[in-house]
Chains A and B, each alone.
Chain A
Amino acid sequence: MGSTVEQQVIQPYKYGWTTDVESDSVPAGLNEAVICLISAKKGEPDWLLEWRLKAYRNWLKMREPKWANVQYDPVDYQAIRYYSAPKASPSLESLDQVDPKVLETFAKLGIPLEEQKRLTGVAVDAVFDSVSVATTFKETLAKHGVIFLPFSEAVREHPDLVRQYVGSVVPATDNFFAALNSAVFTDGSFVYVPKGVRCPMELSTYFRINAAQTGQFERTLIIAEEGAYVSYLEGCSAPRRDENQLHAAVVELVALDNAEIKYSTVQNWYPGDEEGRGGIYNFVTKRGDCRGKNAKISWTQVETGSAITWKYPSCLLSGENSIGEFYSVAVTNNRQQADTGTKMIHIGRNTRSTIVSKGISAGKSQNTYRGQVKIMKGAAGARNFSQCDSMLIGDKCGAHTFPYIDVRNSSAIMEHEATTSKIGEDQIFYCQQRGISAEDAVSMIVNGFCKEVFRELPMEFAVEAQNLLGISLEGSVG
C-alpha cells in the first residue's frame, strides 16, 4: 500500500477527560484486610466475604496466563487501588443524592440519568469506578417482575438468588483474572427475569473508570428463567492517562429452558496513545450457560478500545437443542493488541453454535482471533459454523487466527471459513473517484465488512457502533 494509507494522524480519544470528584477510596495494595474493607463498605453477608477470601487465597497460588498473543509489562497488583467511589452517595433512592458532577459525566457521555431526559426504552445502570451511581426504570421493570439492580444492592435485597447463581458459570477459581475479580469485585449489574417474562425494555450498564491508579472489577450476573427473554447492552469508557489501568470483569449468564439472553457490548476503553503509552488492560471472563433445553445465548461485541484485550465470551451448551452465538467486531489501531474470540462447548444433544468474527487491524496493532469449539461425547447431532474474517489497513499491523477444534462425537457437523483481506488503495481510489473522501471510504468499507455483526446489535446501538468504528480508525489513512 502506498503512502496515502500509511500516514498516521491520530484523532484524540473522545472520552479521555476526567471528572474532578471527591472520592472515597482505599489505599493501593491487595491483602485480606482490603477485601474485608470492600466487603464491609458494601455491607455484605459473611458467606460472600468468605467466598471472596477463598478466591483470594486461590489467586495467590495462581499465575497470570501467558498464552495470549499479547505483550505488556507485568502488572503490579500491589500498586492498584481496588476501591474508589464518589463521596456522599451511599444510598441511591434519589438522584438528588448523587454528586452533580457524576451526573454531568454521564450526560456528557450521552447517558442522561435524569428522569425527563432518559433514553426511552432503555433502562440504564451507571457504574462510576467501583460503585453504581444510578439505575433507571427500576420500578417500571419491577412491575414485570424483572429485577435490574446494582450487584451490591442485589446482594442485600435478593441474597438467595445471588448466592444460588454467583460463581455457578465462572467458578471463583476459573482463571487468574476471574479469581482476582471474585476476590475484589465491586459493582456491576444484576438481572433476573422471571419465568415466561419478556423483558419490556433493553437493559444496559455503562461503566466509567474515572479515578487514577484504580482498577475496575465489576461483576455482572444475568438469569433468565424458563421462557424468559432479555436483551442487555454494556458500554464503557475511561480517561486518557499515561499509566495503564486494569479492568478485570466477570460476566455470568444463566439461561434456563426456552430462555434467551442477548448480550451486547460496545467496548471503548481508552486505547492508549499512538506510541502505546497508557490505556486499559481489559482482561475479562464472560461465560453463559444454556442450562435448559432450547435455551439461547447470543454474544455480540464491538471492541474498539483498550490497550490490551483478553476476552472470550463463551457458551456452555448444556441443554438439549440449545444455541450459542458469538458475533464480534474487534478493531485495533496504533499499538493496540487484542486477543479475543469465544469458546463453544457442546455438551447436550443437537446443540448448535455460530461464530462470526471480524477483526480489523490498522497502524502497528496486532489482532488475534482465538476460538475453541468443543463437541463432547454426548453432544450427538451438534453443529457449529465459524467464520473468521480479518482485514488489514496498512502494512505494519498483524492479523492472527487460532481456531481450536475438538470433536468427540462423530455425528457432529463443523464448518470453518476464514478470510484475510486488505483495504486496497484501489478500493479507496474508487470511492474517491466517486467523490467520497478517503476517511469516509475506509469507514464505509469497514462497516460493510462488519455488517453481519452490526445487524445483531439492538437498533439504538448499531448506529453508535458504526460511528465508533469510524472514530477508531480515523487517522489510519492519510
Chain B
Amino acid sequence: MLEIENLHAGIDGNEILKGIDLTVNAGEVHAIMGPNGSGKSTLAQVLAGHPAYEVGQGRVAFEGEDLLDLEPEQRSCAGIFMAFQYPVEIHGVTNAYFLRAALNARRRCLGLDELDPVDFMDVLEQKIRAIGWDDSLMNRAVNQGFSGGEKKRNEILQMAVLEPKLAVLDETDSGLDIDALKTVAEAVNKLRRPDNATIVVTHYQRLLNFIVPDHVHVLVKGRIVKSGGKELALELESLGYDWVKGPVPIA
C-alpha cells in the first residue's frame, strides 16, 4: 500500500529525515517509535503533505501512485488520513458541519453522491455507534474549548467517518490519561480491517499495549535504526532509547 524509499525531508533548510525506507501493506499496523526530535512527527507531516516541509530526495508511492506530487487534499482523497498531534480549532464551525464537508469531499473522490444534512446525520450516527461513542462533540465548534482528550477523540471520530485506507496517528496518546487512552485505542482497533493500514507514531510503548502493532520501527536522528515485531517495543521500554542510539561519543 505504502512504499517509502530513501526519503529525505526537512523544514526551514534543516534536514530531519535522512533516508527513510518503509513498506506498509494492507491489514498491517506499524508503530514508529523514537526519542524526541528523531523525526517521527516530520514523517507523519510529510506523508500528509504539510506545505512547510520540503522533500529533498526519495520517493513515496501510495497504491503505486507518486504521493509527493499530490496536494494535501488530493492525498486525503486518495485515502490518507492523519490524526493530528495538535488538532486545530475552527471557531463558529460546528463539528457536524465540518465533518459533513470532509465526508462529502471524500465521497466526491469515490464517485458517490454528496449527503445532505439529514442523510449525513444518519451515517454519522451509525459510525459513532460502531465505535461505541456518543455524538456529544458534534454540535460544538471544531475543537474549540475541547479538552486534550476530547480533541484526540474527535480525531478518531473523523477517522471513523472518513474510513481512510491509511491512517497515520501522530502522537495520539500524548496528553491522554489511561482511561481516555483505552477508549481511543479500542475505537482504532474496531476500525481495523484487512483492507486498511495504520501507522502509529508514538514516543511511549503504553499505547502499543492497546493498539498491538505488527511491526515496530525505531527512528533515531532521521533514520530507522531498528525494525522488529511487537516485542521490540517492550525491549525499548525496558532498555530506553540509548540502547538503539548506539555508542555515545566521549566528550
Q: Which residues in A have some Cβ–Cβ distance to B below 8 Å?
A: 2-4, 424-427, 429-438, 440, 444-445, 447-452
Contacts and interface: CB of A to CB of B under 8 A. Distances in A.
A433 B90 contact: no
A434 B105 contact: yes
B166 interface: no
B93 A447 contact: yes
A449 B76 CA distance: 25
A440 B101 contact: yes
Sort A-B residue pairs by CB-CB distance and give the 7 closest, nearest first: A448-B92, A435-B105, A448-B93, A434-B102, A432-B72, A435-B76, A451-B92
Interface stretch (B55-63, B81-89, B192-200): B81-89
Contacts of A440: 101
B51 interface: yes
A-side interface mostly: helix
Contact of B92 (A427, A429, A449): A449
A310 B15 CA distance: 50
Contacts of A429: 48, 50-51, 72
Contacts of B88: 424, 426-427, 430
Given A447-B93, A448-B90, A430 B84 contact: yes
B48 A448 contact: no
Interface in B67-103: 71-73, 75-77, 81-82, 84, 87-93, 97-98, 101-102
Interface residues of B, number: 31
A48 to B, nearest CB: 47
B90 A427 contact: yes
B53 to A, nearest CB: 11
B101 A447 contact: no
Nearest to A429: B50
Contacts of A447: 92-93
A347 B195 CA distance: 70
Nearest to A3: B51
A434 B76 contact: yes
B114 to A, nearest CB: 12
B178 interface: no
Contacts of A438: 73
12 contacts: A2-B52, A3-B51, A4-B51, A431-B98, A435-B76, A435-B77, A435-B102, A435-B109, A444-B97, A448-B90, A449-B91, A452-B92
